[in-house]
Structures are given as C-alpha cells and as structure tokens.
Amino acid sequence: MNLYTASESKRPSSGSGSQDGTVAAKLRRAHRKSRKGCWECKRRHIKCDESRPACGNCAVSERSCSFPSSATPATTTPTASPIPFHPLPLLQAIPNNASNNQVQNCADSCSDASAIQIPQSAGRPPSCSRGRVGFPEVTDDLIPFPTTVPSFTDTLAVTTFVDSSSPATIPSGLPQPIFTAKHLSLLHHAITDMPLAGSFIGLVVDIALKWCHVAPYAMDQLLALSADHLGLLSPENATSHRRTATELQTRALMWFNRPPPELTNRGGSDPNKTCVPRFLFASLLSLQILYETFTHYRANFHVFIERFLELAHLHRGVRTVTSSMYDTILESSIRPFLLNIRNAEKAAKHGGSECVELISLIRASDLGPTAVTGCLRAARTLQWAFNIHANLPLEDNVHAATAFPVLLTADFLDTVRKQQPEALIIMAYYGVLLHRCRKSWFIDDAGTFLVRLIADYLGSFWQEPMRWPLEEVAREQG
C-alpha cells in the first residue's frame, strides 16, 4: 500500500474525533520542496539536497549533476567557486564577423544535455574519401553544423584557482592568464614525466609556450592534462589534482571562446596565432575528455554509453573547429605531426583485416538503410585506424585510437544511442584498438573494459560476433 492509498483508507469520516484527524494529518505531512535542486533530481522527481559540486543523489548514483544557472547553493563556504561535476565542456566556433566586444561567457553558452540536436545529413550519403592530411574525410554533417558543441551540463561556472591570493569570487569578466608556481610545477611534470605525444611532446610544449601570451588556452589545457596525470600517479591526492585539471580546463575554455579578432589584434596577422594554438587546444581537450570518460564513468553500461555519446559530440565539434585550418596548419610548426599520420597511411598499402567480418555482419543485418550506412562508415573508419596504428611508430600509435571518435558520424551515433547490437559490436571492435594502445596512460585498460562491458550487455545471443574482441583483449599484445 502506498502513501496515497494509506491516507485514503484512514481518512476520518464525518464526525470523527481529533485522534483520527491527527493520524491522517501525519500521513499527509508536507515536506520542504527543493526549488533550487539539480536538473537530474528534478527529472527523477526526487528531493535534492542542493550540495555542490554534485548533490548526494547524483554522487551516490554516479549521475551527471548540474544546476540551473539561477540557482545558488544551499550553503556557502569560503572556498573557491564551485565547479561542475565532470562536465563536457563547451567548444565554440567563433564566427568570422565577431566584433571585439562580443566576448561570450561560457556559462551563457551551454545548453541542457536534453536539448542536444545534431542535424542529419541532407540527402547525401557520407563519403569515405581520403583527407588532405591522411585522415578520412567525413562529409555527412560538416555543413551545416551547430556553432557550439553541446555541453554535458547547462552551466559551466567560471572558477578562481585555489592557490590564488585573491578572494574566492566569481569574476565578472574573463579570468586573467596568470600562471603560478603550481602551474610551473605542472609544466615541469608535463615536460619531464608525462608521456603524451610520443616524439612530439617537445613540439607540443614549444607551441604552448610560444603562444601563451596570445592564446593561453593551449597552455592551460596542457597543464590540465598534466594535473590529470599527476592524479593518476598519486591516488592519495587524486581529488585535488582532478579539481586543478577542471579549473584549468574551464579557464582554457573561457579564453578559447574569445572572438579571434581580439587575438589577432594582440598578436598581429600571423595565422599561426589563431590556427595553431586552436588546433593544439582542441587536440589536447579531446585527449583529456577521452581519459575522463574511460576512467570515471564505469558504473554501468548506460552511464558509460551516455557519456561516450557526449564525448563523440565534442569530438565532432573539434572536427568542425579544426577542419578549415588544415591548409594553414600544414605550413605551420605542426606539419611534422600531420605528415606522420599521412606517411603511416601511405605505408598501409593493403590494409589489415580486423574489420572484415564486422563489415559482413553489418551488411547482413536487418538495420534500416540509414543505420547500415552509418555503421559501414564507422567500420571502415575503424579499419583505417587499425591500419594507421600498425604503421605508426610505437610511441605515436596511440593517435590512431584517439582519431576514431573524431570521425564518427551522426547516423552511427544515433544507432549507438538506440543500442542496436551491430553498432555496439563496432564499439567492441574499437575496444580492441584501445587495448592495443593500453600502454598509454590515458587509455590503460579502457579496451578490456569496453569489450567486456558490451559483451555482458549483449548476452549469449551475440556470443559469436563478440568472440574475436573477447579473444583479443585476453591476449598480451604490444
């Protein structure tokens, strides 16, 4: 018997005494409503304790926790401003005609995750042509594409740094690009102890240092990755390092979303001042989000898939931001890295056979035409990534695994969202590629986790298609 039926059965009849009325009143006792609770508690119709950065309900259930922009915490503390609970950040493509005073606050730009809408391809199938720098071109949804990448939350707070001597308040404008002794320590760690870009780590650091006065977001994002790596090495300080990484990422996004004319006016007419640091920032941000997704979202199948889909939306936004930059970047200091990918593709003359059975499975499926097209495209892109991995130097082959999510199309992501088995099996095959890159610190055992997660979800009916991924992650591969 629920509360409503219980109260109805004990409702006093006409002329009943006060004792029965008291019982009914107790059963109908009112409670204080949470009018400033998080979106997730509102959606679930449960009371929110309004604690920050994540309320108790969301923390226990490992859900994404975000609050309405007008809401204020139930209690305030003298610590630094609260930050979102692992948000997928806003990545904004600035229009060319933006004026100097059009500085858009990141908190005003974010959208509710429920409002994510990616336009479908406009009546033309995706091509599988080869890109200018070795990457397969994805033409299904580059034009048109939203100018902002959907956020994991509806707000993205501006934060101050914990070790700052200034009061812990939310600044009215953009945070100043001040680098403290703490940041210098993170930079030293990135240079000396953080495996990141293989033979190109020196190039990454040089670019971030060279342009930090014009585009500090590249340096901030590099330091954010360094903080995440320190958290991995020092589990006892992981919470502190993770907070630092989030703060640096937030500040980087604030500067990244400045209109390019402001950067151009400060830095001159050299296109590297906008293209190169923006490309570097987008690449480093992709790595950090990939690491966070496979590290912190393992509660269950649905938690992970939800997060991965939003990661893929971010990656597609990265592709949108950077796709028009390649001609300029090919003539910049990043050219050696891009040519490394191109040379690996040229070396893969005949390609591998990892996805042959996968492609046959998709062709024989009963999926609709749009889903089949999206899945075939994803499977061929994954085979391209396997080929690149096999032909890149050992210290650089992780870039094949990080490139795959960037190239996923809206049709395929929609099929994953519907949890179609064929799309999930493609994800399991991607787990094999991740497993082959497991020596990288930001991938580690992600491949094994992904394959087994999907195998458990699909069950015994799909045991045969899942046999190869399960066998591969059980092996000790280099």
pLDDT-above-90 percentage for the chain:
39
For the stretch 84-125, pLDDT in tens is 334 454 554 433 334 333 333 333 333 333 333 333 333 333
Collapse the DSSP code of 92 into the 3-class scheme (helix H, G, I; strand E, B; otherwise coil) and give the result. Answer: strand
- Backbone φ and ψ for 136, nearest 5 degrees, come out as -60, 135
* C-alpha–C-alpha distance, residues 151 and 21, integer Å: 50
- What is the average per-residue pLDDT within 410-437? 97
The better pLDDT of the pair 152, 446 is held by 446
% of the chain exceeding 70 in pLDDT: 64
Burial 246-267 (b: 16+ CB within 10 A, else e): bbbbbbbbbbbbbbbbbbbeeb
287-346 tens-digit pLDDT = 899 999 999 999 999 999 999 999 898 878 767 767 777 778 888 888 887 888 888 888
**Bond into 144 cis (ω within 30):** yes
User: 446 CB contacts (<8 Å, ≥6 apart)?
Assistant: 294, 431, 434, 435, 438
Any bridge partners for residue 130, and if so which? Answer: 136
**Confidence band for 216, pLDDT divided at 50, 70 and 90:** very high
So what's the pLDDT on residue 184? 95
φ/ψ of residue 476, rounded to 5: -100, 95
pLDDT, position 60: 66
**Average of pLDDT values for 377-386?**
96
Mean pLDDT is lowest, of 42-46, 342-346, 400-404, for 42-46
- Of 410, 367, 357, 396, nearest to 119 by C-alpha is 410
Omega before 53 cis (within 30°)? yes
- Average pLDDT over the chain, rounded to whole? 73
CA 386 to each of CA 433, 434, 435: distance values in angstroms, whole numbers, following the listed order: 7, 10, 12
Q: How confident is the model at residue 358 (pLDDT cuts 50, 70, 90)?
A: very high
**pTM assigned to the model:** 0.66
Handedness of CA 110, 115, 116, 118 (dihedral sign): negative
Instruction: List the single range of 60-69, 299-308, 358-367, 419-428 with lowest mean pLDDT.
Output: 60-69
- The residue among 353 and 90 whose pLDDT is bigger is 353
Which residue in 336, 396, 365, 322 sits closest to 138, CA to CA? 322
